[in-house]
Amino acid sequence: MSREVATKKQILESAYRLFVERGFRGSSMRDIAKNAEIKAASIYNHFDNKEQIFAKVFKAKHPMFRLLSILDTATGETAEELLTDAIDRLNTELRSEPELLNLFFVEFVEMDGKHIQAAIDANFPHDSTFMRKIFGMKSELRDIREPVLVRSMIGTVFANIMFNWFIGDSKPKRWGSSTEMTDVLLWGILRKSNSS
């Protein structure tokens, strides 16, 4: 990797971490430069301006594709096992890296969503191992299209975590556990009832 490419990569990585932690306007070019171990003016040898950096970071780190990759690692002999494992993995990943979705929030609030389409165009099509696996277990499922199934799963996990943020650490018993939430999802997806 040439020196130039390496520096560019350092800038993008530094910017990613800062945008995720402090948002776009909260991350200065000087801070981005410092983490990349250069001076602020040198950034302009690689990028035209701050927003161009954000656009490239967002394209490279769009969280949707990260979540689909996590799904691909799930395993299981039956549909119920596969789905449960997939949900566990999503939950674990989002809990250990809660800022995974921050980049998207920043894009939505500060950028008005204007880079989303370009990021989608750059990353599609995505070959999903998970969808192929669950497709092979079709007989165990209700008649639901695969993408709808994937949405339901990501949605359930996502909603669990968001909801936990919403209510803070208070009253977890009152509001239920994520296991209870997963149960609702499985009942909605599987052809036969799961053990509960």
41 binds a second copy (CB under 8 A): no
DSSP 141: B
CA angle 189, 191, 194 (to 5 degrees): 80
For DNA, give the closer residue by CB, 34 or 66. Answer: 34
Residue numbers at the binding site for DNA (CB under 7 A): 3-4, 7, 25, 27-31, 33, 38-42, 44-46, 49-51
Closest by CA to 67, choosing from 158, 135, 137, is 158
Closest contact distance (angstroms) between CB of 1 and a second copy is: 31
168 binds, among a second copy, DNA, none (CB under 5 to 8 A by kind): a second copy
d(CA 165, CA 168): 5
Show the CA angle centred on residue 92, arms to residues 187 and 127, nearest 5°: 75
- By beta-carbon proximity to DNA, the closer residue of 28 and 179 is 28
Give Cα separations from 125 to 51, 65, 119, 120, 147 (angstroms).
26, 10, 12, 9, 13
d(CA 150, CA 141): 13
In DSSP terms, which residues pair with 190 in a beta bridge? 141
Closer residue to a second copy (CB): 5 or 122: 122
Residue from the set 3, 96, 124, 127 that interacts with a second copy by CB under 8 A: 124
Structure tokens at 193: 């009832």
84 binds, among DNA, a second copy, none (CB under 5 to 8 A by kind): none
Residue 59 contact among a second copy, DNA, none, beta carbon within 5 to 8 Å by kind: none
**8-state DSSP, 190:** B
Q: Provide, rounded to whole angstroms, the least separation between the CB of residue 41 and a second copy.
A: 23
Interacting residues toward a second copy by CB under 8 A = 20-26, 62-64, 102, 104-106, 108-110, 113, 116-117, 120-121, 124, 142, 144-145, 147-149, 151-152, 154-156, 158-160, 162-163, 165-171, 174-176, 180-181, 183-189
